[in-house]
A and B are shown apart, each in its own frame.
Chain A
Amino acid sequence: MQTSMKRAGRAAGALALLASLSAFSGPAPATTAYITNEKGNSISVIDLDKLEVTRTVKVGQRPRGIALTKDEALMFVCLGDDDTIAIIDTKTLKEVGELPSGPDPEQLRVSADGKFVFVANENDALLTAIDIATRKVVSEFPVGVEPEGVAVSPDDSIVVNTSETTSMAHLIDWRNKKVLANILVAPRPRYAEYNKDGSELWVTSEVGGTVSIIDPVKHVVAQKITFDVPGLAKELIQPVGIRFSSDGKLAFIAMGPANRVAVIDAATKQVLKYLLVGQRVWQLELTPDGKYLLTTNGVSNDVSVVDVAALKVIKSIPVGSFPWGVAISKQ
């Protein structure tokens, strides 16, 4: 039994190799999504014209957070169990270096100007800023226990970090390099995202089960969104990833083991709809044309594709084991 499984694995590897070879000889590449597979220790590459996986590449251990550089030449992948961030060339999909992350990196964010990447450093309760050109740490800011989510305001003026055990959003003045405010939110804040014009900062609390909408000028929680899915235990409502539609009118919230994405009217903050996706939905990303929303579904090992105009799930794409993060190239 074991031998035959090994053989099957080897055959699959050979097929993947063939697939990767053909990818090189094909026509100009379509828009591409990169999915980190937390347990599979790999990245699934999705062709967004065909909506299918064209390649799977091995990376280090426990890949989760993923981000592209502004020019899309490189991507950064947090490798939690290797205690590093791999730098991967998006053309060759080969590792070309690493960033100084500190232990167990999970999430990261590239500044809007493309010059810096911000990473939460769990062991030392610090938010670390790394200069992408020199690959060196340029600043650290003391934050709460178990720093996790990272967001950057659209104008790069404010960097945000959420700390899971401290249950705070830490707002950092990036120009003057100082902590501006530490705002208490519901337990285990896992992800932060500015709305399109930067007037609101949305923070999901995985254990609290809510979304806090922070006024980034007044430094207060201005509003709280709660969820109620009929027939679902309230403990299963665990909001994580956040994305806004291209026109900024809708917000999408990944709801973890509730297996749903909540669609929220960004103006009224009303929940419009719950979209049933795969199991344990972690992160979200929109295609550059704003047409599709991709969701990573950790337990069901697939990516759901949501048609944003119709607000319907139109496809599920099988990927590697325990998909977690997603990044999409513009070209």
Chain B
Amino acid sequence: MSATAGIATMIHDPAGRPSERAVRFWTLDAIIGWAFFAILQLAWMLIGNYWHNPLHLAGLGLTVIAATIHAAVMPRWRYRVHRWEITDDAIFVRSGWLTQETRVAPISRLQTVDSRRGFLSRMMGLTTVKITTASSAGALTIHALDDAVADDVVARLAAIAQEHAGDAT
């Protein structure tokens, strides 16, 4: 019954946090996303020569305001929310900001462990670990870990998975 006790006590605060560079990573990520959107808007204005059209200018202004708020608020909020922990029985991951999700999966049900490094995260030495179960709705993603921590997590989970053979449905 250790699984039961584990899940019940664990809940409130899983111990693991993302890397300290995560805030910077999320900020940059947000800025790049918004910049792409703004460039599209500018391209539209350029092609149609709408430089003095008030609607277009207002649209561009809105983009800048939304981008500033998003890039300022989201990363810090995320950093406060994001948590993860791997116990002997289960994996817990909390993520999100406006909408927050806590996911739990018993360790016996995990199927694959992926570690992903995008271009931006590689530059900052960050790794995202994705743990899938047999349910397509049940994947657990631990965002923005230090590379070393992520390697450790993957190794640990792989070792655990070895012990639990079977099709994990």
Judge: A and B partners, yes or no.
no
| B residues whose Cβ falls under 8 Å from a Cβ of A | none
